[in-house]
Each structure stands twice: as structure tokens, then as C-alpha cells.
Amino acid sequence: MLIKRRFRLGVLGSGKGSNFVAIAEACARGTLPAEVALVLSDVESAGILAHARERQFPARYLAPGAFRTKLDESAERTYVEALRAAEIDLLVLAGFMRVLKGDFLRAFEGRIVNIHPSLLPSFPGLEAWKQALDFGVKVTGCTVHFVDAGVDSGPIIGQQTVPVLDDDTPEKLHHRIQTAEYELYPRCVAAIARGQVRVQGRRVLWRLGAKILLVEDDREWRQLAANSLRDAGYDVLSAGDAAEVSLLKDHADVELVVLDLDLGGENGLMLMRHLKGNHPRARILLYTGIEHDTEAVQRMLDAGAHRYVRKGALSELTATVQEELEKSGNPESPGSNASA
């Protein structure tokens, strides 16, 4: 019998913990398939510990020792022992202001990640947003990377750009970079938790989950839904009408079509028949925000749709998509690790 085991995160932080909050909220929403196993800080009054305790996560202050920029040997052993006892799968640095050295890195080799407020390899080190502004670049951003023995030098997992505006101050630019960090960091950690990334030399290669075609004529909702499904690890194509759907007919590997029934009537029936012909492997999920009479819904089901679900929150869509993919036996649907 297979028992699902949640991917376990350890978190180190020295400050207010805003990136930790973004990761914890992604875990709570289910877009990051993991649980926070332990939060440690080298600062007794750090906000990250308060945030962790509010959410009832194990959280501890551990004295860092005599050095200002690194852990001393005794403290390093204490940190490593605590993280090993928590059985973490990945160690997430969230504003941890001490450099990790040899024995610590070897204890969790290839399993430590960090986020840096620039597009590495540009502007490593402290106050990277100020470095970017002073240098005069037009675009900066943030980078999630694996941690190695260098300074902000490990393999790059993901990056997100942020434009530098003419009236920017260091504070304004830093704020916008932080907003990007809150999106990028949970997305990259989620990909690791799903086993969707692998390191090949200096390159980190991503493997996406099942391919989904989202057909929705409301552009704003379509964008929100596509982003939500991508955050959950799926490879998403989107279309707003029959003409756009026809442009995607060569994607025979689509495994699920999410079709807004508001496209409805005879046009909807015709479109669904085209979808069945172009994507023969795909299950078709009718997903709509308006009421339809049972006869109209039944006609769509008779024409080949597999399920009808009333449109709700984006988190409900993600859960429904996963259910449908599990019915199809798709091995690429995101989920928890399993062990015997």
C-alpha cells in the first residue's frame, strides 16, 4: 500500500519573514505541495519566528555563536541536528543573514535554496537593488538558486524581471522586487517539491506536468486561471474562441480541456466536437459561472464531455483539474511524494 508523504521544508531566517509568509500561504492554498517542518532563526526577536508560531509551525531560536557573519562550529552542529531531526527534504533560506559553510552545505548538499534580489549573476552580495539602480540598468529582478560554497553563485532555478523606472528610489525598487519574490519563490520551491527540476551542470532544467487547454472567453478570468494552473505545475495553453482553438490543433498531447460552457449552445457543441477530434486523449471538463438547464448540460455530456462543474474559486479549479487527471491515470499530475 502506498502512503503519501508530504514534502518537508526547513526554513532559516533572520528578519521579518515576508518570503516565509509567501511560502507558508502557498502551502496552505495547496499550490505548493509541501509542509513546513521547522523554522529556525539566529535572531531571538525575528519576525519570522512570530509568523511561524502564529501558524503553529515548530519554530526555534538557536544561538549562532561568536561570529557575526557565520555560525560557529558548535552552533552549526546544533542547526544541522535540528534540521535532520525534522526530516526535512529541502532547506529554504528566507533572509538568513549568515553564510553557510562546508559541513553545513555537505549535510544538505543539493537541497538548499535561496532567493536573491537581482538577476544573477549580476549584482551578487548585499543591497543588490541599490547596486542595480546605481549601475543604471533598465531591468533587474530576483533569482532563486541552489546554494553552494560561493556568494550567490549556485545553479539558477528561476528568475523574474522587474523594470527599473526613471523615478525609482532604492526603497521603491526594493519594494517591487520583493513583490516579485513572493511570486517566484513559492513557484520554484513547488517545482522542486513535485520533482519537476533537475540540475545538469550549471543548468537547472524544468519538467512540466500535464498539458491543459483552457478555453474561456473572459480574458481576465482566463489569465488568472492559467496562472493558477501554471503555479500548480501544469503546462497550460489557453484560447478565447474557436479561431484560437483551431490554432492549437497540433497539440495532440493535451490531456485535459477546461471548457467554459458560456461559449454554449450549438456553437459550444461544435467547438467541443472539434476539441474531441483534435485532442483525442483529453478529458473535457465543462466549467461555467452561469446556470444552465439540465438538458443543455446533458447535450454537452452526450457529445463527449466528461464532467460538469460550476465555476468557483481558482483553488477549486486546481483541485478539480487534479481529480480529472487522476481519473485519466495521468502520471504527471502534481501531488505528494509516495513511499511504501
- Could you list the active site residues? 116
Q: Which helix (H) or strand (E) holds 333?
A: none
Ramachandran region, residue 5 (left: φ > 0; alpha: ψ -120 to 50; beta: rest): beta
The CA dihedral of 70, 74, 79, 84, to the nearest 10 degrees, is 140
Q: C-alpha angle with apex 30: 25 to 33, nearest 5 degrees?
A: 100
Continuous H helices in the chain: 18-29, 47-54, 73-85, 102-107, 128-135, 170-193, 219-231, 242-246, 265-278, 294-302, 314-327
Integer Cα distance of 285 and 305 in angstroms:
6
Integer Cα distance of 93 and 305 in angstroms:
45
